[in-house]
A and B are shown apart, each in its own frame.
Chain A
Amino acid sequence: MKKLLIAVIFVAFALAVSCQAPQDVKSQLDKQSAQIQTLEKTIQDQATKIEQLKMDYQKHMIDIHKQSVGTTTSQTQPPTRVGR
């Protein structure tokens, strides 16, 4: 009985020791976490830039429209001139 208990404790100890991640693996995981965070920030920055580009594009298109309207010589006839 006593031997069995010692064996169980030994096995548990062995499992606990074997389940600990090696030091270099932990370091790699930390690095990857940092990289992921950097990537996330980069994506956010890019999304902001895309939004800005979309707004600039829209403004540009509005300006072009205004210019074309402003420079177009319309063929519209004036209304009938009537006395009042």
Chain B
Amino acid sequence: MKKLYLILAICLVTGALVLFTGCESTTGDAPTNVVLTAATDITVTITWTASTTTPDKYIVYFKGVGDADYANIGAVTATTYTHDPAGATGKYYVAAKYGSNEYNSDVKSTEPIASTATDLAELNASGNSGYGWVRTDGAGGRFSMTSAGNASSIDFYLTNFASGFSSTPYNIASPDLGPTDPGGVVPTGSWRVNGISDPITNPQAALPAHSNTTYFNYTALSAYPSYLGVYTTDGYYALIKVDGLNTSTGTVSAESWFQLVKGLRLIKH
């Protein structure tokens, strides 16, 4: 009988230990407010708000564009991590690890925001000549260059720097050239002073780093399709694909990828 009591007592003590030590180590909560910023123009800093219960560590996961699965790219106890994605863009999340359990944050992405091809008109042709991206969601869209009220929405426009639309080459130009454009339809206004790169041979590679030898006030379109980088006056990078020249209607088709992480020139898509 004494033996039975002893066994029961041991079982009770073991159960209590599991309850108050083992279980506690697997209880936790996810980090929140994950934010991606550019550490440099090709590396990414991930920051987050700590879990309310301190975890053993935080694990940062990354899945590049085209990758099948997320990969563990680092473990830290701090609430920030800097990642060199080697030219890739992709999705990140942070897991708070408690024992063998992980509590995942929301997913954030550096993948550029794609906007489907749309017709863009030369300044003197029928249709909108201006094109710009919404800074909050990266969506690209067309705007008229004939209204100064659109100045805060336009990042480049299509022009042949002539009064008609039949002469070539067409050019992708910074909006601030509009008022002096011989097309003669752009009013004065607070037009953005952006930079346009030379044509890019590999549209999946990181865009050229911003400098006054890599970005210009305009770039002539000598071939179709052409890929060009855009560096905006407020520090964003984007890639545009210009194709489908039609000089009888004065139009081209424009497709774009906008990097929502300010200052990051990774554009793989």
Contacts and interface: CB of A to CB of B under 8 A. Distances in A.
Interface string B163-179: 11111000100100100
B215 A83 contact: yes
Interface residues of B, number: 29
Q: Mostly helix, strand, loop or mixed at chain A's interface?
A: loop
Contact of A83 (B171, B213, B250): B213
Contacts of B211: 83
B217 A79 contact: yes
B217 A71 contact: no
Interface SS of chain B? loop
Interface residues of A, number: 14
B124 A81 contact: no
A77 B217 CA distance: 15
B39 interface: no
A27 interface: no
15 contacts: A69-B163, A72-B163, A74-B162, A74-B163, A76-B182, A77-B161, A78-B171, A78-B220, A81-B218, A82-B212, A82-B217, A83-B195, A83-B216, A84-B174, A84-B194
Nearest to A75: B162
A31 B211 CA distance: 90
